[in-house]
Structure formats: C-alpha cells, structure tokens
Structure 1
Amino acid sequence: MQAHDLLQGWIAYTSDRSGTFDIWLYRPQDSFSFQLTQGLGAAFSVPYWSPDSRRIAFTGIGNVVYLLDIGTLAVSRIDQIEPYTLLDWSPDSRFLAYVKNGQIVIYDTFSHRSYAIPMAGASDVQWFPSGTELLFAAPDTNGNTQLFRIRIDGADRRQITQNTDGPLHDVRLSPDGAFALYTFPGASISIISTVDLTNGTIRTLEGGPLAKNYFPIWSPDSLSIAYSATAYKEPNYYSLVQIDNRIGQKQRTLAVSDCFAAPVSWSPDGGKIAYLSGCAGIEQASQIWIVDIREPKPVKVLSGGRITALQWSPRVRRVSFIH
C-alpha cells in the first residue's frame, strides 16, 4: 500500500470483529478498515497514539504493554502492568510514562531501557508539553488524592490541588499543559472538574442529568472537553455525547448513544467527535459514529463485533503504511 495522507487522521479502535480482541484502524476519508494486531488485544485494551502518529501503545493479552509500529506492523513487548493503566507518550514520541507497583516508570522506546520514580499510590501520569515535567495524581499525607507535578528526574515535586472531595479519577492534562481535568468521587456519581494549573482555580462542569459523566477528553486546542453523560428514559439507560468549555459555561449535546457510557475522541482538527454506540441493551458497543460539532448530524461509519475503545490519531502530514 502506498503512503497515505493522514491530515484527517485515523481512528484506532479495539474490536473482536475477527473473533478475538485486537487493534484495528479506520480511515474516515474512505471508510477503509484494517486489522493491525493478531490475537494480542483484550477487552480492556485502549490504543494510545504517539504524537507523530507512527506508533500505538496498548495493554493487551496477559496485561502486557505492546508497542505497534503503524508503518511496518512490527510489535514489541515492553512491560506487564495492571489493565486500564494510562499510557502517555512524551512530546517527542520517544518515551512512555506509566505507573507500576507504586512507581512512575519512564520507558525509552528507542533504547528499551527504563527507570522508575518511587511514588506510592500514583496514577494517571502524563507529560507536560515541555517534556521535562510530569503530572500525576497521588494521595497526600491525609489520604486525599491530589494532583502533583514533578521533574522527570524525580526532583522538585509540587502539590497543585488542595482536594478534600475524595478520590480523583480520569486525570487528563490539557494539550497546552495549562489545565487538567478529573472526575470525582467515583463511578456511580462522576462529576467533571477542571483546574487551572497556574493558580489552582477549580471549576465544575454542569454535566449530564444523572451526574454520571464518563470518558472526558480535551479538544486539541485545549479549550473544550468532550464526554459521555448517562441519561435514563424508561426502560433504558443511554448516553449524551456532550461538549463544554474548560470553565463550564458552554455545554452542548451533540449526539445520543444507546450505550450506558460511550467513549469519545476528538478529530485532529477539533471539528468532529467519534463515539461508540450500538449497545442495544447489552454491555458493549458495536458501532462507531462521527458527529461534526459545527453541524451535529451524527453518521454511523462502522459496525460489527464488539468495540470497547477508540482514539483518533493526532494530525500528521504523511506516514508510510505497509500492507
């Protein structure tokens, strides 16, 4: 296959449409879909794109972290971690950061060497755009989850929040490194808040009607947040695909999914959102839909098998793809 223009990006998704869970690619421009892995995925696998869109990291079968080269389809195994652990690429697409056994691990995907920063209870570690600092969540001395920042050499740890509202989940750093979002306090009630990392100001988004807001994700320009808001109409739960700005003043509903909660992902230009639907009363989705935020008319683009996760690639100019 010749080189393809990826200005609109690809959508990587996790599906068992071939019989086992694997990572697949879908190209919105022409509806081309392609299976990337063979028997390596799991229902909990989430594909994490490198910033240059050349590789995908995911945790798959056996709880193994795999690196997948999009151009050659070569796969390497790098570690074994807990399912659902966030994997985050450094801005230069070289290093992965994640948490394992009470440590922050920095893994060099070029040299295949790693080092660890001891950090009991840490979660959701992510790179600041500078590439020299990390954001993460961890309990303070009173056991309350706080956000911290630390240099990648383990020095200069600073506490950002003064949270007393219980556990923080789904911590996500904005692409510009100026804000973070998180959900609290748990799964049955899940509220989204943002924190301005320069001054610590916290704002809470209105969210959906049942205070069950899941899968929050920043827009590429760091100004908006998309998420899934669970709603109920006799006899079924469903979810609203919503967006809001980072200070919670411009909530809009763009689409409806028939799933209790629907993972969402922004297009590289921030103009569209892909989301999962097709649950039809069962737990897992079977469809990918795309909605344009400027003209919300949702379109079903893919159907078949169970689909558990999706992530739209960052914008890149061109990448070779060998098949």
Structure 2
Amino acid sequence: MTGSFYMPGEWHPHRRCWMAWPAGTRLWGEKTGEAHAAFVAVARAIARFEPVRMLANPEDAPNARQLLDGVAEVIEASYDDSWLRDTGPSFVIDGTGGIAGTDWVFNGWGERQPHERDAALAGWILDREGITRRPSPLVNEGGAIHVDGEGTLLAVETTILNQNRNPDLTHVEIERELCAATGAEKVIWLPGGLDGDYGPVGTDGHIDTVACFARPSLVLAQVTRDPADSDYETLQENLRALKAATDARGRKLEVVEIEQPARREDEATGGRLPMSYVNFYLAGVPDGKQGLVLPIYDDPADEPAIAALQAVFPEREIVTVPGTILFEGGGGVHCITQQEPMP
C-alpha cells in the first residue's frame, strides 16, 4: 500500500498519543476526582512507552497540569467531551514519510448530545500540527472502525449504517467512503455491539468494545460463555461472522476469544456498563519498549484476560489501569486515546 494514504494497524510504531482531559464534571459528577485519577493512570502507563499530549479546556488546564506534571504535555483546547478516539483525527500515512488526518463528520454519536466544539476538534489538532487534513463526508467516529493496515476494516452494522449517522447513504456508498478514507479494500461487518452501549450515553455498538485486530489476520473477539448473559447471542453472532470471513488478502481470520467481565450495573442509568478487555491501547515508538495498556475491573475474568493477551503479545509489557470508572463515563482506555503513527 506504499504510495497512497492508508491507516496503519495500531501496532505500527507511534510518534505520540493524544488524549483529552475530562471536561468539567458533567460525565462523572461526584466521581470526577476518581475519573481524573484513572486518566492520570492511563497517561502515566502510556508515557512509559511513548510521549503523551493531553488536551484540556482552559478552565480545567491548571488541575490537569498539576496532576500530570512530568507525565504529559498539557495543551489548552476547546471541546465538549473527552472521547478523543471519536473526536480526534484518524491518522493515515503513505509509507514514504507522509502523514495526514482523516476528519470525519462528528454528530455527537447520533445527535445524542451537544457537539459543536467536538466536531471542530480534529481539524483544530491537524491545523495546530501542520498535518494535512483529509475531510470525509461520512458521519463516523474513530472507535467505530478497526483496521489491520493491510486493507481490511472491521465495523459494527449498528453504528455507521445507523439512520442517526448516515441516513442518505446506501450500504455500498458507506463502504466506499470508509475504504477511501482509510485505504481499506474490504469491510467486515459484525452484527452488534455490547448491551449497555445503546442507551443515552452509548455509541450504538462501537467495534472497539467487541473486536480488534492484534495483527493481520488475527482478531481478538470478546465473548461470554453464559447463555443467560444479555450479550451472549450478539457476541455469538459476531463470532460466527468473524470465523466465516476472509480478509482483503483472502486469508481466513484466526479468532482468539476473550471472556468478558461479569455484568455490572451503571449506578447513574441502571443499565449495563459495556466493559471490555479488547478496549486496550498499544503503545510504543520505533526501536523502543512496547506496551499494552489494559483496563481491568476487579473481576475474576481479569487474570484470564491478561494471560490471553500476553500470549498474543509476548513482546509487550501489559500495564493494567482502572477500567470501571472510565466505563461509568461511557468508554474505556481505547476510547480516550488516539495514536499518532510514525510516518
């Protein structure tokens, strides 16, 4: 794919990681301090392997600078929410030293919340960095897609195809634009996302809580072995779709199953927290130590998940961080981070 812009796999060496500090107290309320501690833990873990840049609204910047002293560079910016995976640019490279950023249309996860400042954030980051902006007409979020860097893209049908995102585009038109924006040649659609990800603060089932590429032709899939679990049928359907699929190069996918944590209720909404072990962040610069920052939940499934991921990523140091508090706000480690690849 050398010579044209494409989105590399997340294991591709990074230049840095981008994050955005929680905006005020809207999402976490009385638990905002706990959320701040979790953001610091994530930034500190990533900073062991690559530089971190933390955006912060001006009113939140002094607190962020104090808590992140020596951990991350804090940059003042204007935004509505802290899920930078979705509101930041999706970086693409051309294999010859060029880098650009895909700037999707952002509509607040299907008009769920105010998003005027978030919609402008990707463009602001790219302008600030002097990186070419590649605007896409598609309503999409970075957490709704996952790529292998060799032409294959994973997505969930209930997000980008949703009437609250792209009602005037056909399935074929959406696929065509996804491929044009990311350099992909084939889209593998999974039927659904996690229970708990479809409510007022949900995403309609982002891919980054149910499946991800670990390397070309190898996919990690979150599952539950409990037929009574509310996620069981959907995750089984996802599993069947993955096992039946081939990638853009015609290879059958190898699928590694990761058992999910037990059901936990969201105290604020009464719904289920869509907690995930595949919502991790791969960190590392060229020729440096390689890390995997993993959310855990004080759950019996934590240790098996760590062991399974270590077997898939033997060369990476796994660093665990508190995950429950992040999902109480609506997302996880992958959701609050965005890698900038080395061109």
TM norm structure 2:
0.42
Of Structure 1 and Structure 2, the greater strand share is in: 1
Of Structure 1 and Structure 2, the greater helix share is in: 2
Q: Which has the higher contact order (CA 8 A, sep 6+)?
A: 2
TM norm structure 1:
0.44
